[in-house]
Chain A
Amino acid sequence: MARLRTAALVAAYVIALVAALATLPTMLALTAALLLTILLVLADALGNRILFKMAVRNVVRRPGTTALVLAGLMVGTAIISATLVVGDTFDSMIVGEVTDAYGEADLFIGGPGSGDGMYNLSDVASMTEQLRGIDHVGSAEWFLRASAGIRNQQSQLSLPTASVYGLTDGAVTGLGGFLSANGSTIDAVPTAGRIYVNEDLASLLDISVGDVISLSAVSGSENIVMDLTVEAVVTDHALGGLLGGRNVYMDLASAQQLIGREDGVNALAVAFDGSARASPNATRNAVMNVLEAPENVPLELEITGDRALDIEEGRESVSMFISLFFVFGAFSIIAGIVLIVNIFTMLGEERKSEMGMARAVGMQRGHLRKLFVYEGFVYALATSAIGSAVGLVLAYGLITAVGMVLDMGGLNIAEYFTFTPESLLIAYLAGFLLTMVSIYGVTRRISNMNIVRAIRNIPEPLRSRGDKQVFRYGALILAGGAALMLAGMSAESLGPSLGGLSTMTMSLGLVLRRFAGDRIAWTIAGLATLLPWMPGVEIFPYEGNIEMFVLAGVFMVTALLTVVMFNSDPLVSAITRLLRVKGGYKAVLKTASTYPLRSKGRTAMSMFIFGLVIFTITTLSMMSGMLGAGIPKMIEETSGGFDIIAFSWAPVDMWNEINASAGFVDPADIEDIVQLTMGGPTFTVLPSMAPGMEEPRQFGYNAIGVTPQLYERGHYPLSEWDRTLYPTEEDVWLAIQNDPSLVVLDGSARPADMSGAGISINVGPFSGIAWETR
């Protein structure tokens, strides 16, 4: 009767579950799966009310225990939830940044044009029409992007370069429009003589609406300066965040005038509709086809920016961080599972005799298991919810900490803190599942105990040496490990190969105990498992990823623990002898070690948790040590040893400026000032100058006039130069002083295709490339 009921319930559950998973969208399906599972347990409990009653009372039996169990069970869920939320946040940051930089555009297209990247609108009109004709292409609009020096006449603040965009109304709507700082949307280009600036620029130069701004750009040999009035300050989102810079927006004609190129444009923004944005491949290919059509080939246009690819790349670049997080998360989750198992084993031990009694008066093994499953269910329902919430808080703390520690180019990840309901639901489900599965595993052991031994509270005897079942299990695990290893080897994948091998060596304990006894068998198994993970030992010549770290931790800790646990008696006596413990202390040590060694399983589990924690802390501190060593060096290199680096538009006397700016820096604290002249011209690099480069290219550089003071007071390490001509860095600096045809180039501005003999590269602004024009 009861059996039939259970069978019917389970059948109904499975059918409903399959139906839900097959028909509903993922999130609903997961929710349905959770609700169905809860319903299943509740329906089952309804048929076993007395068991459910006992389970609930067991939960609240002792507040201390309850708190411990709750905390232990929470760990796993909290870590999962935190990991997912951190992932969400990174994702929202990447998508957010890319979205700001692209506005509504999906592709940016540009080309060499007449050598400077410029096209006449009339020349590209028909090709643009072709693009507009492509399915799912929403708009294709040309605009002009240039750089110019900028100064706010009101605040007197200036920057050597800002990006200037010349837009048409079509381009404004095509790129998603502006959002003004006060929240209204702006869909039109400013009228001639007026500009918009984005918040990034506005905050740097103290710009407010109505200010007059001077822009200066070089056109041929001429320097054009324009005074323009700020009509609006726009947020750094949508068009306001275009290509992620400090931006000025004006009408196309004015921008063309600024750089002296009538009818000139140099960038094409192509926007896809919603469906193509979600899966852009086909539409992107269609765009490529147009660019490569015979009539368009002479234009030499190419895709210079791709929203989808940028998002993908961004995700890849943070995947390192996420996988690091995953490793520690995985350790915590494994430790959490062991903790759950340990807690419930402990609860089982504690209630052993009453459970034996319950069995004597007619409770079946299944009933006992249900008793624990119900108890676990009540715990899981509560802890998964708390755990998901705690994970959220944890993630917020982490993100805030990361935001404070890591300055990602003025980008604060904390602003992007976000989470999706999916993540919380998945964390809840995973926590729920982990708890239930761990508990179910434990209940098997509890329910299989011998009634009399349980009532009397005497431990179950160890499986005898000759036990065939143990041997068979061992052989089975050995075979499983071998299969995993072979699969790993055929896929040339390190994880499964080494994992399989270690599973095999661990299973030796179960297999060999029949012939050699527990101690020798497990010692062999432990040592054999430890061996492949030792530094310097390489068994499989494959590349491994970060998951190897998790495997290493788990197997090394397990193997080491196995060896220690099975040799605890000789170890204790060795320690006793080593410490020359005498008399009373000997008894204390004996007693102290007897209790943990009596229930080896539980002690081993507790030690496993400690082991993992220590493994994690050790590697973490090693890594942070390595990172930490790099940071001061980086600061030293990029600052050149100077404490303050300031720019000014007008040639001014720095001493006067500092004396005038009361409260900023006390002049008494200033040791020395190095003044340099800087300008923002555009360099044209000709192929003859850069081996490997086929077309002349233009770059907007800041040109800095170097005085001997710069390298005498400060130190900007140079990376590579012709050492036969200039033996020391000093000689390089001297050479550029003496020979106006020599420059030192900054590594970060290196064009990708400028490489070859005599030119080499270093990372970091101001570190140099010796650049010979001869």
Chain B
Amino acid sequence: MAIIRCENLTKTYRTGTITVEALRGIDLTIDKGEMVAIMGPSGCGKTTLLNCLSGIDDATSGKIFIEDRELTAMNDNEKTNFRAARMGFVFQFYNLLPVLTAVENAELPLLIAGTPSDEARKRALELIDAVGLSHRATQRPASLSGGERQRVTIARALANTPAIVWADEPTGDLDKRTSDEIVALMRRLNKENGQTFVIVTHDPEVGAKCDRIIHMRDGNIANLNGKVSEVSAEIRQLG
């Protein structure tokens, strides 16, 4: 059953006199519970696609449906509330708010969504525990390592039991061992909770752990069910 669907999605960036067509008419469906990797050479539009699908950026044209609700028809507050309730985010950098501790960061989406604070704290502590960071719960991000920060981010992304978790290069800044741990963690949570994961990555090993690889090239979909070997060859060549 499709949880994410988009039709003829385009995105054009205009800066001064320069125009970049980052997405040139994407049609795409992702099923509930899938763990999908979006791969492709640098600049092909992966991040742009993820941002548009998750509603943190506006597409230039086309339609997006999440859980059968049309995202492209919502106003800013509706989109924001929808994100808060149904989506989780993991980016490569700058994920955490520096003034909040690990557990406070994790509980933030819950508090924004109006969950009572003791309930939110309980859930956040469970999640921090689930990502293996109980002993660092009251630290601020500045005193956490890169891997620890990404784990807190994942805990936060899962806090409101979202239907979809969007991850843009979640392991891009990590060494191989930590990266493996993070992907294994996501895979486990995906299996246990049946949540949908959409992961943008350059890393073939990350791609290999996913159910499916969406192969992008030049703002288009090259292959909706790509092969790790093909994509990595192309990335090596171009990017």
Contact surface of A with B, Cβ cutoff 8 Å = 1-2, 49-50, 53-54, 57-58, 61, 353-354, 357-367, 450-452, 455, 461, 464
Contact = CB atoms under 8 A, between A and B. Distances in A.
Contacts of A366: 77
Nearest to A363: B112
Contact of B114 (A1, A353, A450): A1
Interface of B: 14-16, 51, 54, 56-57, 76-77, 80-81, 83-85, 88-89, 91, 94-100, 104, 107-109, 111-114, 117, 156
A513 to B, nearest CB: 15
B56 A362 contact: no
A364 B89 contact: no
B56 A50 contact: no
Nearest to B58: A450
13 contacts: A50-B104, A50-B111, A50-B112, A53-B100, A54-B100, A358-B97, A359-B80, A361-B83, A361-B89, A361-B112, A362-B85, A451-B57, A455-B56
A50 B103 CA distance: 12
Name the residue among A49, A54, A360, A455 with the largest chain B CB count within 10 angstroms. A360
A360 B203 CA distance: 24
B109 A354 contact: no
Contact of A461 (B15, B54, B88, B99): B15
Contacts of B57: 450-452
Contact of A61 (B91, B94, B96, B99): B99
A364 B77 contact: yes
B63 to A, nearest CB: 20
Contacts of B56: 359-360, 451-452, 455
B239 to A, nearest CB: 19
A interface SS class: helix
B99 A367 contact: no
A362 B84 contact: yes
A54 B113 CA distance: 16
Nearest to A47: B114
A569 B16 CA distance: 17
A49 B104 CA distance: 12
A367 B112 contact: yes
Contacts of B99: 54, 57-58, 61
B198 to A, nearest CB: 14
B234 to A, nearest CB: 25
Nearest to A366: B77
B97 A357 contact: yes
B94 A354 contact: yes
Given A360-B89, A451-B57, A49 B111 contact: yes
B76 A365 contact: yes
Contacts of B107: 50
Contacts of A452: 51, 56-57
B118 to A, nearest CB: 12
Contacts of A57: 99-100
A492 B200 CA distance: 68
A53 B103 CA distance: 14
B94 A360 contact: no
B27 to A, nearest CB: 22
A359 to B, nearest CB: 7
B117 A49 contact: yes
Nearest to A353: B94
A294 B76 CA distance: 84
